[in-house]
Amino acid sequence: MEAWWLVLIKSVVLVALLFLVFAYLMLFERKFLGFFQLRVGPNRTGPWGLFQPFADAVKLVLKEDIIPASADPLVYRLAPMISLFVALAAYVVIPVAPSSGPVRWGIADPNAGILLLLAITSLGVYGITLGGWASQGKYTLLGSLRSTAQAISYELAMGMSLVGVLLLAGSVRLDDIVAAQARIPFAVLQPLGFLIFLICIVAETNRSPFDLPEGETELVGGYHTEYTGLRFAMYYMAEYINMIVMASLLTHLYLGGWQGPLLPPVVWFALKVAVILFVFIWLRATLPRIRYDRLMNFGWKVLLPLAALNLLGTAAVVALA
Amino acid sequence: MLRELAVGFETTLKNFFAPKVTIPYPEQKKPRAQGFRGLHELRRYANGLEMCVGCELCQVACPANAITVQAAENDPANPHSPGERYAYEYRIDLLRCIFCGLCEEACPTGALHLTQEFELSETSRKSLVYGRDRLVRAARSGGSVPVNVYPDFRGHRPLADIQASEQEVAGA
């Protein structure tokens, strides 16, 4: 065990770092979406628009904080905090680089890291559901209903595809899983599982083309329709930090984590995560939002059987080898 | 379906690296069309006399009631315009104006002209009612028209063509 003050310092640094990465992820998403659409994106605040996140932050802080008259005030206030807290807490168990020397990279190193991570990220749906319910609006309620249904249908497939990795690695500790990929990353050994997991994390983070809980064309803003100012910002942060968490998880599970030639581990890790985040944005720029019933069909009738097949195959190979 | 997906991703990725179509507006301006109708101006002859003779036809022609003209008799010793009368007061309410250009067509002396200027934002409604002081100017396009030669109707001729003919008139 590390001293409590060391853990505290590491936590503060982690949260600050996540906020910073979130701010620039948002900027780069807007930039890149612009590029994908033959525009240039934000470029007025500072060189290359680099101060845009700070301008946005100031704008959001100065906005009026509205609570609908019919809303449940306590739950309404609590819901965005749950979302943000859960998103931040999930990163605790993700190591960024191998631990050598007196100070470890990750904050916590439980021996069932993945299970804890999955449990925490699954809680994120409460923030969305409660927020949509407490706002007492039709759009918000529909948005939160969608998010629950979506979470149920995609987390199963995600968990199943992940078990294949756990079988190959023979451990649920993230460090061990990364170490097991020293020669070949699991994305090569488990291409199907990798694809399913990729699709599921897009759905899990409510990103386009699975952004049905927000669905601005039909649900205004979905679960965050009524939210303004800082509370809205919390939801926003939660969504992007979830993206970072999921991209990090994917890197560790399928892309060999921090391992790579020449460059230091942290750089490799950051590079891989950045590439996955780029893929997230690329997906958003390319695919339209899919219809709700098709989303359900796809989750239950395509992804789940495929994930089961993948799991069975892997299990057979592991058992015979 | 997979093929279509691949084509879609390829298209967006191509766009990502393609040159962008955005024009960085205040620094770089898109060329306006030749028939572009922007801010009005009241032109003068080369000797400084106003071309407007206060006939009020523009006011009558205006479908949006944006133009107000009040004419007054010229002082023969010190005339404002070559005609009998001149525009004592001339106001265009740009908040009402629809930039249709009917006033320009109605003007018998070619005094009124819609320039290419379109950056007309102001901080108050009042300042968007342009008076004589801001409309009459030895302006960008009109200053070189010589005395008593009325310019041709501008219609939809290319701008360069118009400028060339104006310079010819000025030279002659």
Q: What is the ipTM of this complex?
A: 0.72
Nearest to A91 by CA among A26, A22, A161, A15: A15
Q: What is the DSSP secondary structure assignment for residue A50, as one 8-state letter?
A: T
Instruction: Give the gap in angstroms from C-alpha B31 to the nearest C-alpha of chain A.
Output: 19
Considering the domain boundaries, does residue A54 fall inside one?
Answer: no
Considering the domain boundaries, does residue A127 fall inside one?
Answer: yes
CB atoms within 10 A of CB A107: 18
Select from A34, A38, A282 the Cβ nearest to the Cβ of B9.
A282
- pLDDT grade for B115, boundaries at 50, 70 and 90: confident
Instruction: Please list the ranges in chain A whose pLDDT falls under 70.
Output: 1, 99-103
Considering the domain boundaries, does residue A26 fall inside one?
Answer: no
What's the pLDDT score for residue B158?
57
pLDDT greater than 60 at residue B149: no
Q: Which residues of B touch A39 (CB under 8 A)?
A: 20-22
CB–CB of A286/B8 below 8 Å?
yes
Considering the domain boundaries, does residue A261 fall inside one?
Answer: yes
Residue B124, C-beta contacts closer than 8 angstroms, at least 6 positions apart = none
B27 carries a ligand binding annotation = no
Q: How far is CA A200 from CA A166, A192, B13, B143, in A?
A: 17, 12, 23, 70
- Distance between CA B67 and CA B158 in Å, rounded? 27
Report the pLDDT averaged over residues B99-123. Answer: 84
What's the pLDDT score for residue B141?
47
What's the pLDDT score for residue B63?
92
Residue B112, C-beta contacts closer than 8 angstroms, at least 6 positions apart = B40, B41, B42, B43, B52, B58, B103, B104
B100 carries a ligand binding annotation = yes
Exposure pattern of B78-103 as b/e (b: 16+ CB <10 Å)? eebbbbebbbeebbbbbeebebebbb
Select from B5, B9, B18 the Cβ nearest to the Cβ of A38.
B18
Considering the domain boundaries, does residue A214 fall inside one?
Answer: yes
Q: Which residues of B touch A282 (CB under 8 A)?
A: 9, 12-13, 16
- Distance between CA A41 and CA A277 in Å, rounded? 17
Let me know if A147 is exposed, middle or buried by CB neighbors in 10 A (0-12, 13-18, 19+): buried
CB contact under 8 A, B20 and A40: yes
> What is the identity of the amino acid at A277?
L
CB contact under 8 A, B16 and A43: no
- pLDDT grade for B146, boundaries at 50, 70 and 90: very low
pLDDT digits (tens, 9 = 90+) for B65-99: 999 998 888 888 888 888 888 888 889 999 999 99
CB atoms within 10 A of CB A316: 10
Q: Which residues of B touch A43 (CB under 8 A)?
A: 24
Nearest to A120 by CA among A94, A144, A154, A98: A94
What's the pLDDT score for residue B159?
57
- Distance between CA A222 and CA A141 in Å, rounded? 8
Considering the domain boundaries, does residue A6 fall inside one?
Answer: no
Instruction: Give the gap in angstroms from C-alpha A109 to the nearest C-alpha of chain B.
Output: 38
Q: Which residues of A touch B9 (CB under 8 A)?
A: 282, 286
Mean pLDDT, all residues of chain B: 78
Q: Which residues of B touch A289 (CB under 8 A)?
A: none
* Tokens linked to A52: 């845009």
Domains of chain B listed by start with CATH number: 35-139 (3.30.70.3270)
Calculate the CA B66 to chain-centre distance: 15
CB contact under 8 A, B12 and A32: no
- pLDDT grade for B153, boundaries at 50, 70 and 90: very low
Lowest mean pLDDT among A28-32, A234-238, B23-27, B152-156: B152-156
> What is the total count of domains within chain A?
1
CB contact under 8 A, A282 and B22: no
What's the pLDDT score for residue B98?
92
Expressed as residue numbers, the domain containing A291 is 69-320
Residue A257, C-beta contacts closer than 8 angstroms, at least 6 positions apart = A174, A177, A178, A181, A251, A269, A272
Nearest to A242 by CA among A286, A203, A192: A203
A interface residues, B as partner, C-beta within 8 Å: 32, 34-40, 43, 282, 285-287
- Distance between CA B26 and CA B48 in Å, rounded? 33
Considering the domain boundaries, does residue A19 fall inside one?
Answer: no
Q: Which residue has the tokens 């069909």?
A: A297
